Structures are given as C-alpha cells and as structure tokens.
Structure 1
C-alpha cells in the first residue's frame, strides 16, 4: 500500500512539473507561415579560420508550424567573401523552439544544428541556445555557441514576416 501511495505521489509530481514547463512555453505568430531572414549576419570560428571569427551574411528560409509551437529552418545561404563561401549546412531542417520570456525577450533553442567548414564541425547535430526580442523582432545568441570544433560567436537575423512571441 505504501508503494502505491508513493507511486501516486510521484505521478502527481510529474504531471505538475510537466504542466509548469508547458506554462513557460511560448508560441510564434504569425502561424502557419513561410519566412525568410534577409540581411542576417553570422560569425563563426573554426579550425579552418585558426579560431578567428569570420563574419558572413546569412539568409534562412523556413516555416512556422500551425499553432506556433516551433519553426522549421529548411534552407540557408551564407554570403560574403573568403571563408564565407566554404560552409555547408548539414542535417536541415533545423527546429527552432521558443521558450520562456519576460519583458518581451524570450529564450529558445535551435536543434539539429551542424555544418562543415572544410571538415565537419561536429560528429552529430547539436542544440544551440538563442534569444528573441519582440521589440526588434531579432533572433540572436547571447553567448558563443559550440558546434563541435566550431563556434557560432554572433548571430542576428530578423524573420520576414516579422515574428512575435507570445507567452
């Protein structure tokens, strides 16, 4: 009987924790919709750049899922001279999932991220942390994000049509 009470208590705790985490999730509007990120910028360091960040342009394309729980990044074009012509993005689509936010600034993740610059950066896809600001409608990173032997040191893209995240 005691083990049954413990099981019921643990189950109730798990349900409450799941409900609390769902309450922190955000949604993207407009949805569903296709988007692009014209004029975006990215900086990446890699062994090919001797660890020095290389600044490039980047345009993502994708779509926001119905209901806005996530967005799928289905394509990307890196622009600029020098090493900017070398990267190959791997494993698309990548998934953007919004998280919690306060004062119009939200956290989130992009999962499935991998690319190669001469050689593969990582042996498997990774998840990076991102931020979204409703005031600027920009998706950025707060700190450098490691993808195997490479690092995304800066990212600034603005989806068109403009995204807004809602709690």
Structure 2
C-alpha cells in the first residue's frame, strides 16, 4: 500500500510539472508565414579567423513559421560590417530551428558557419553546429530576436545578435 501511495504521489507530481511547463509554452504566429528580418540586423562574432577579435556584420534571416509554432531559419545572409571577414562565412546547419520556450526566451539549434581561410593570413574556422539561447520580444506586428555571449563549438562565440521581423508575433 505504501508503494502505491508513493507511485500516486510521483504521478501527481509529474502531471503537475507537465501542466506547468505547458502553461509557459509559446509559439510563433501565424502558421505558414514566411518572413525576412530587416536590413538593420547585426551579428557580432569571435572566431579563429578573427584571431578572437569581435567582428560586426550585417545579418538578414529568412524563414517560415511551422505548424508546431516553431520557425525554420532557411537562409542567412551575412554582409559587410566592420570587417571584410563578413564576406567569407559559409552558413551551415540550415535550417536553423528557432524554438520559443516562453514569450521572452527561446533556442536556436544547428547554428553554424565556416570560413575556409587563406593561410597563413586568415586561419580557417569551423563553428557549430550548436544550440544557442536567444531572447525574444514581440509587438502586435513584429518579433525581435537577440543573443549575447553564446558559445559555438570550434572556439567561436556569438557575442551579440539583433534582428527584427515584421508580420510574425509570439503568442503564449
């Protein structure tokens, strides 16, 4: 009888924890919406190719909201910012999976890029694929995605990321 009470107690605890986690779930909306972040987006990375120095580049993400409320980032365009290194990355791991955990937090999975390098001047870089934590904010007509100091495998860091897309929101 004691083991039955213990089993019932553990089961009740598991159900409550599951319900609590579902209450915090969030999703992107509307389903099927394709989006492109605006041209003012930036990404700052550190990598072996930059000898560990911060490189600021412009970043534009394109993606689609999935039926499960997550989003696939299907294309990432990096263009010149503070360095000619911005012309060199080859984005890897696409699609990147963007998952809202709450209305203000989420993860991006499969994030990665390579730089072939030009020895001996520029060492090669192979960053990711890695999962990074992101912060999210939403207005009635747009979302913003940010990240700070997120490590990627291959001795790389996303020092900061800031992009905004219109036509997509986050719903609890």
Q: Which category of TM-score, normalised to the shorter sequence, fits these structures?
A: 0.7 to 0.9
With structure 1 as the length reference, what TM-score do the two structures score?
0.85
Distance of 1:74 and 1:3 partners within structure 2? 51
Task: Write out per-residue CA displacement over residues 92-131 of structure 1, whole angstroms, 9 at most, x where no aligned residue.
Answer: 1111111224xxxx11111122222333124xx3211111
Report the counterpart of residue 2 of structure 2 in structure 1: 2
What is the match of residue 31 of structure 1?
Answer: 31
Report if the CA contact (8 A) 2:143-2:170 is conserved.
no
RMSD of Structure 2 on Structure 1 (CA): 1.7
Q: Which position in structure 2 is the counterpart of 1:86?
A: 88
> Paired residue for 2:15?
15
Provide the residue aligned with 2:105 in structure 1. Answer: 107
Question: So what's the TM-score if we normalise by structure 2?
Answer: 0.83
Say if 2:132 is the partner of 1:131: no
Larger radius of gyration: 2
Secondary structure in 2 matching 1:4: helix
| SS of residue matched to 2:31 | coil
C-alpha distance after superposition, 1:25-77 (max 9, x if no partner) = 1121222211111312111111111111111111111100125x211111111
Distance in 2 (CA, whole Å) between partners of 1:158 and 1:55 is 17
Distance 2:37 2:157 in 1: 21
Q: Which aligned segments of 4 or more residues in structure 1 are displaced greater than 3 angstroms?
A: none
- Which of 156, 160, 166 is the aligned partner of 1:160? 166
Q: Which runs of 5+ in 2 are unaligned?
A: 116-123
**Partner in structure 1 of residue 56 of structure 2:** 55
**Aligned pair 1:97/2:99, yes or no?**
yes
Task: Give the total of aligned pairs.
Answer: 158
Secondary structure of the residue that 1:16 maps to in structure 2? helix
